[in-house]
């Protein structure tokens, strides 16, 4: 491998991706493993960890997974100590674990609000805090936060999620501000609308074959006129985890097909015949 390409390698690095039993977290971890990283992950329940371990094994990845609640500081400290003992010091942290509750704000209970804020914002604070001291001592480290277009935009029924993701954007900048002097980079990825089995119902065609209203809406708002795929996120994740991004810090980079740059078009102008059925991803 040339010296230039070596800057993108993660050979021997320990990468912890929270909530990476499936979905985007699994995609990030798979990309890291492809360029040499050792993968560790956690999830909230043993059945989810087991599901993740089976998926990694199927992909030929020797991952290390444990149950850990990212909102419980004692849990997180114990997890990090366990990883350091059995795998090695954590070089890369991806704060991927998150939840969303689609409830109108006037109907949302404080308990429901707290749950979203705790997982989506307090969790990244706790996990980052747990790895930062080791990164400071070793004078290197990469933290990647899972932001969202809701870090920039509001939308009905997602008040807690948008507040958490907006807060996570500022936590990203603040970690950069406090710890950049120790050669620690903290950046964030802001995915747009990604085609996964979880979002498949939003794209399901009506019985008459016409596009689902939300599918039409998203395509009309996206210059690329398509949903993203998990592969669209992997290159940036590897870049932000690698030496190649050592002078990039405190940034949120959006992978949204151009939504945030575009006012959008009239959804009725979309040519439905252009959009063949898209194969669903298995993640």
Which distant-in-sequence residues (6+ apart) come within 8 Å of 248 by Cβ? 185, 187, 240
Q: In what order do the strands lie in the sheet with 252-255?
A: 64-67, 38-43, 14-18, 92-95, 141-146, 184-191, 252-255
CA–CA separation, 116 vs 120, rounded Å? 6
Which of 28, 56, 64, 161 is labelled catalytic?
161
* 271 exposure class (CB count in 10 Å sphere: 0-12, 13-18, 19+): exposed
Q: How far is CA 268 from the centre of its chain?
A: 32
Q: Is 161 a catalytic residue?
A: yes
Which distant-in-sequence residues (6+ apart) come within 8 Å of 94 by Cβ? 15, 16, 17, 18, 20, 25, 28, 29, 143, 144, 145, 146, 237, 241
Which helix or strand (DSSP H or E) is residue 137 part of? helix 123-138
Q: Are 234 and 27 in contact (CB under 8 A)?
A: yes
Catalytic positions, please? Answer: 161
């Amino acid at each position: 491998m040339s010296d230039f390409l070596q800057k993108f390698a993660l050979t021997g690095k320990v990468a912890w991706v929270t909530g990476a039993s499936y979905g985007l977290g699994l995609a990030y971890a798979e990309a890291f493993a492809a360029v040499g990283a050792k993968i560790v992950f956690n999830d909230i329940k043993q059945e989810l960890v087991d599901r993740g371990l089976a998926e990694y094994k199927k992909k030929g990845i020797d991952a290390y997974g444990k149950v850990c609640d990212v909102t419980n500081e004692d849990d997180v400290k114990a997890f990090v100590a366990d990883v350091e003992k059995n795998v090695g010091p954590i070089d890369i942290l991806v704060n991927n674990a998150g939840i969303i509750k689609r409830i109108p704000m006037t109907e949302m209970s404080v308990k429901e609000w707290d749950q979203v804020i705790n997982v989506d914002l307090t969790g990244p604070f706790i996990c980052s805090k747990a790895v930062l001291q080791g990164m400071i001592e070793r004078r290197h480290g990469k933290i990647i936060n899972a932001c969202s277009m809701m870090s920039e935009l509001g939308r009905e029924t997602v008040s807690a999620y948008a507040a958490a993701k907006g807060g996570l954007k500022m936590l990203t900048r603040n970690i950069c501000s406090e710890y950049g002097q120790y050669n620690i980079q903290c950046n964030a990825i802001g995915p747009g609308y990604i085609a996964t089995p979880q979002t498949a119902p939003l794209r399901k065609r009506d019985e008459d074959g016409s596009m689902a209203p939300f599918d039409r809406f998203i395509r009309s708002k996206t210059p690329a006129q398509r949903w993203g795929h998990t592969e669209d996120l992997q290159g940036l994740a590897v870049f932000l985890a690698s030496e190649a991004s050592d002078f990039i810090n405190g940034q949120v980079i959006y992978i949204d097909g151009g939504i945030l740059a575009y006012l959008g078009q009239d959804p009725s102008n979309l040519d439905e015949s252009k959009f063949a059925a898209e194969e669903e991803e298995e993640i």
